[in-house]
Amino acid sequence: MTIAAEEEMPRSKRRSSLIRSPQFSSLVILIVLLAVFAVADANFLSPLNISNMMAFLPELGIIALGMTLLLTAGEFDLSVGAVFGLAPVVVMLLVQNGGFDIGIALLVGLLLCIAIGAVNGLIVTKIGISSFLVTLSMLLVVRGAALYITQGFPLKSWDQPGFFVTLLAGSFNIGTFRFYTSLWWFIGLSLLAIYVLHYAKLGNWISAIGSNRNAAVARGVPADAVKVWLFILTSALAGLAGMISAFRISAASPVAGTGYELEVIAMVVVGGTALTGGRGTILGTIVGALMLRSIRNGIVLIGVPGLAYNIFVGVIILAMLILHALLQKNAARN
Partner 1 sequence: MEVLRLQNLQKSFGSVRALKCASFALNEGEVVALLGDNGAGKSTLIKAISGVFPVDRGDIYVRGQKVSIRSTRDAMDLGIETIHQDTSLAPDLSIARNLFLGREPVNLKWLGVFAPLDLAKLRDAAAALLKRVGISKKLDADALVSTLSGGERQSIAISRAMQFAAKVIILDEPTNNLGVEETHGVLRFVKEVRAAGHSVLLITHNIHHVFQVADRIIVMRRGEIVAEQTVADTDLLTVESIITGADMSALLKETRAK
Under the binding rule (CB under 8 A), the answer on residue 186 touching partner 1 is: no
Instruction: Name the one range near partner 1 by CB under 8 A: 63-71, 215-223, 239-247, 258-266.
Output: 215-223
Under the binding rule (CB under 8 A), the answer on residue 202 touching partner 1 is: yes
Q: 171 - beta bridge partners? A: 180
170 vs 311: CA distance, rounded Å: 34
274 three-state secondary structure: coil
| Closer residue to partner 1, CB minimum distance, 4 or 218 | 218
- Residue 43: half-sphere exposure toward Cβ, Cα within 13 Å: 11
* Closest among 211, 198, 235 to 74, alpha carbons compared: 211
Q: Could you say which residues in the range 266-325 bind partner 1, by CB under 8 A?
A: 274, 278-279
| Closer residue to partner 1, CB minimum distance, 220 or 305 | 220
Which residue pairs from 43-47 have beta carbons closer than 8 angstroms and sit at least 24 positions apart in sequence?
A: 43/301, 44/297, 44/298, 44/301, 47/175, 47/176, 47/177, 47/178
Instruction: Name the one range near partner 1 by CB under 8 A: 91-99, 202-210, 239-247, 311-319.
Output: 202-210
Strands (E), 48-150: none
In the complex, minimum distance from the CB of residue 118 to partner 1, in angstroms, rounded to a whole number: 18
Q: Site for partner 1 (CB under 8 A): which residue of 185, 205, 231, 247?
A: 205
8 vs 3: CA distance, rounded Å: 9
Size of the site for partner 1 (CB under 8 A): 27
**DSSP letter string, 130-194:** -HHHHHHHHHHHHHHHHHHHHTTPPPPP-----HHHHHHH-EEEETTEEEEHHHHHHHHHHHHHH
On the 0-12 / 13-18 / 19+ scale of CB atoms within 10 A, 122 is middle
Q: Site for partner 1 (CB under 8 A): which residue of 163, 199, 262, 314?
A: 199
In the complex, minimum distance from the CB of residue 13 to partner 1, in angstroms, rounded to a whole number: 8
102 three-state secondary structure: helix
Backbone angles phi, psi at 177, to 5 degrees: -90, 140
| Closer residue to partner 1, CB minimum distance, 180 or 205 | 205
Under the binding rule (CB under 8 A), the answer on residue 34 touching partner 1 is: no
| Closer residue to partner 1, CB minimum distance, 41 or 224 | 224
Under the binding rule (CB under 8 A), the answer on residue 327 touching partner 1 is: no
Instruction: Name the one range near partner 1 by CB under 8 A: 105-113, 144-152, 198-206, 256-264.
Output: 198-206
Instruction: Name the one range near partner 1 by CB under 8 A: 168-176, 192-200, 243-251, 312-320.
Output: 192-200
Q: Could you say which residues in the range 143-182 bind partner 1, by CB under 8 A?
A: none
Q: Which one-letter DSSP state was computed for residue 278? A: S
Q: Site for partner 1 (CB under 8 A): which residue of 18, 187, 200, 322?
A: 200
Residues near partner 1, by CB under 8 A: 10, 14, 195-196, 199-202, 204-205, 207-208, 210-212, 214-222, 274, 278-279
